[in-house]
Amino acid sequence: MHAETWCGPHQREKLKRLCRYITRPALGHKGLRRTPADEVVLQLKTPYRDGTTHLVMTPLEFLQRVAALVPRPRLHLIRFHGMLAPNAALRAQIVPGEADQATNTANEDGEALPPAPRARMSWAQLLKRVFAIDITTCPQCGGPLSILAAIKEPSVILKILTHLGLPTRAPPRAPARFDAFVQTA
């Protein structure tokens, strides 16, 4: 499902279709059954090239195959194939920004050097870019600021916040607003 999928408050048919989509099982029950010998039989939607129409396996083999379909945590769920695959030979010609990486310099032996990794943005640059907060310059004098310490211990953080009279707990989350998702005509 794409993140921009939404439906308005009066679009009941679209809401039903969306609910059916997000609650559908990963595997249909129609093509799945157990044999008297306690084996799992999976009927294929389309036969294999060799004519196979059913797969017969033990319950453990079936669970192994189903578990293999579950993506690992923190893994990108979008896969690119063909010319957009990460190691495709022609990818540099069609993906912007990769043409300059394709022309690497060579070392003394004439071997091509691997591309240099891109430098990640610092957290200060990310804060400036996302929230328009520049934490590297002083708001009063405009001079440069530097980090004095990174405090990680919760007890020390609690003492500092209490001393400054600031709240020691995060504010409660507000409930989601439905009207934020409804487009105005």
pLDDT tens digits, one per residue of 105-155: 666 676 777 777 777 888 888 888 888 888 888 888 989 988 888 899 999
Enclosing domain of residue 134:
123-164
Q: Which token pair is 144?
A: 């440069």
pLDDT at 3: 59
pLDDT at 101: 47
Mean pLDDT taken over the chain: 81
Please tell me the distance from the alpha carbon of residue 19 to that of residue 116, in angstroms, as a whole number: 46
8 A C-beta contact, residue 133 and residue 126: no
pLDDT at 185: 43
Asked if the structure places residue 83 within a domain, the reply is no
Task: Give Cβ neighbours of residue 21 (< 8 Å, ≥ 6 apart).
Answer: 1
CB count within 10 Å of CB 62 equals: 19
Q: Which of 22, 42, 68 is the last residue of a domain?
A: 68
Three-state SS for 130-172 is: HHCCCCCECCCCCCECCCCCCCCCHHHHHHHHHHHCCCCCCCC
Please tell me the distance from the alpha carbon of residue 71 to that of residue 79, in angstroms, as a whole number: 12
Asked if the structure places residue 177 within a domain, the reply is no
- Number of residues written out for the chain: 185
Asked if the structure places residue 60 within a domain, the reply is yes
Q: Which token pair is 2?
A: 């794409």
Asked if the structure places residue 31 within a domain, the reply is yes
Q: How many domains does the chain have?
A: 2
Asked if the structure places residue 108 within a domain, the reply is no
**What percent of the chain lies above the pLDDT cut of 70?**
82
Three-state SS for 27-82 is: CCCCCEEECCCCCEEEECCCCCCCCCCEEEECHHHHHHHHHHCCCCCCCCCCCCCH
181 versus 160: which is more confidently predicted?
Answer: 160
| Cut 0.75: pTM above it | no
pLDDT at 178: 62
Residue 25 in 3-state DSSP?
A: coil
Please tell me the distance from the alpha carbon of residue 62 to that of residue 34, in angstroms, as a whole number: 11
pLDDT at 182: 52
Q: Which of 42, 68, 94 is the last residue of a domain?
A: 68
Q: Which token pair is 82?
A: 């063909």
Please tell me the distance from the alpha carbon of residue 102 to that of residue 7, in angstroms, as a whole number: 44
Q: Which of 68, 91, 106 is the last residue of a domain?
A: 68
Asked if the structure places residue 148 within a domain, the reply is yes
- The values of phi and psi at residue 54, to 5°, are -135, 150
